[in-house]
Amino acid sequence: MASLPTAGADLRTRSGTDPGERLAVALDLPSAESALAMVDRLDGTCHWLKVGMELYYTAGGGLVRTLRERGFKIFLDLKLHDIPNTVAGAVRSVATTGASLLTIHASGGERMLQAAAEAATAPGAPRLLAVTVLTSMDGADLRGVGIADTPSDQAIRLARLAERAGISGMVCSPQEIATLRTELNPGTMLVVPGIRPAGAKGDDQRRIATPGAAIRDGASLLVVGRPITTAADPAAAATAILSEIASVL
């Protein structure tokens, strides 16, 4: 079993900021067994873990609770998108797992977002993050679904909508961080996927940035999966990213 996360303390900056609070490792893996094996290989380098749809649909809330018991904070990335009543019920259900963050699609509309925000006022409910435009999408993808705006313009529009509906956290690409920092309330949490260390493959991500650039622009939490989980030494890959974060804090 991996030790409780300690790497952030080792890399703590002069200001006392803990880089470990700014990185979530995406456990985009097919089973609880493979996820727990990866956690062991991370060797206590990370505070946050992301559990997405593939893993959650296989392992369920039990794995989230297991990871919480091992000392990790959990970002549950389910990207809920349904009628308001169904999404509100899902938010209440997730509250039983102890997850700290939960994603919903901003494109579900204001009434859905409001219903989710109301459900998230219950004790133990996670903080909601509204997904704006997926980092895998570019302008051509948006035009294919009838949206003429650029990905950045659409992301900003959806973030404003989510904020009006009572959502205080957003998921955006690195390209929207700086603008959203000026457009939204100062306390808004900006969670940013599409993070790739310099020289790493983009994979299916199209709107990307390095860890240091995203943090400088104002990202609250970076989400990194394959550059860490497919590395020969995941703990070393995570530590390198944490060191880059520390260098700009």
DSSP output for 42-55: HTT--SEEEEEHHH
Provide the b/e sequence for 13-45 (b: ≥16 CB within 10 Å).
Answer: eeeeebbbebbbbbbbbeebeebbebbebbbbb
At residue 1 the predicted structure's pLDDT band, cuts being 50, 70 and 90, is very low
Interval 51-106: pLDDT, tens: 999 999 999 999 999 999 999 999 999 999 999 999 999 999 999 999 999 999 99
Q: Which of 63, 44, 62 minimizes the C-alpha distance to 4?
A: 44
Residue 43 gets the label, from left (phi > 0), alpha (psi -120 to 50) or beta, of: left
Q: What is the pLDDT of residues 7-48, one digit of tens each?
A: 444 555 545 578 999 999 999 999 999 999 999 999 999 999
Can you read off the two tokens belonging to residue 166? Answer: 């009572």
List the domain boundaries for the chain.
7-248
Active site residues: 79
CATH number belonging to domain 7-248: 3.20.20.70
Q: What is the pLDDT of residues 201-231, one digit of tens each?
A: 545 455 678 999 999 999 999 999 999 999 9
pLDDT of residue 10: 53
In the prediction, which pLDDT does 17 show?
A: 77
Kindly provide the residue ranges of all beta strands, DSSP E only, lying in 81-147, ordered along the sequence. 101-105, 127-131
Query: 101: which strand partners?
Result: 75, 127
Q: Express each pLDDT in 109-156 by its tens digit.
A: 999 999 999 999 988 899 999 999 988 888 999 999 999 999 999 999
As a whole number of angstroms, the distance between CA 3 and CA 218 comes to 30
